[in-house]
Structure 1
Amino acid sequence: MTAPSRPPLKSITPTPNGQQHADQTPARTAVGEPKGVAEGVPIAVRPAPHPGDGRRPVAWLLHIVAPPSWGITPSARSWCTCGYERQAIGRAAVLQLIAAHGEHRTACPLLDPTSEGRTAA
């Protein structure tokens, strides 16, 4: 038994053959300011740059997935804005990653402006 043929749901516009050019509009000559701008008012207003005090936000993130069941393997991920990124799978590896994350928080190159890691990042 054959299924009845279905009518097409969308009409497909045929593609034109050959090259077609876009409509050419005559170029308008620009005289003076753009319309809608009052005289003496700048078009784009930018705020004055604020001098920095040398501080910079640093983010240390530690994400641990430890399901309540002992049969499921825990995992963790540690990353920082300086480019430090580590992952661990398994109980022992996650514990080592937590310790390494704590060490990185004290030795991050973004905290010490004289360290060479800050200029590289």
Structure 2
Amino acid sequence: MSPRGHAPANSPTLTPSGASPAEPAPAPAGSGAPKVVAEGVPSVLRSDPHGDDGRQPVAWLRITAPGRGVTPSARSWCACGRDLFAAGQARALALIADHEQHRELCPHITPQEGRKAA
């Protein structure tokens, strides 16, 4: 130790004697069992309220319209391999309409059984 009563900056930190921080805290007097979780915290896993219902995303449409003076754009992609991009207001609007039509026709999205052939 230095003459001022604290360890120099490049020496290892001294550990205090006593319980290690990794050990559970002692239980209140008389219970004997170590405290594992804080009061009010469930210790049993509950079912996920947002659980998997079997649905998965198949087609995506991303529209970017940042504001005045900046060119809007749209991107449409699907699990079937579709990946289209359009820049400019007229082209982005056309791609949005095309994406909606694709969602009605794509076999990855709409099952073909029971549908009339076009």
- The alignment's TM-score, normalised by the length of structure 2, stands at 0.45
Alignment TM-score, normalising by the size of structure 1: 0.44
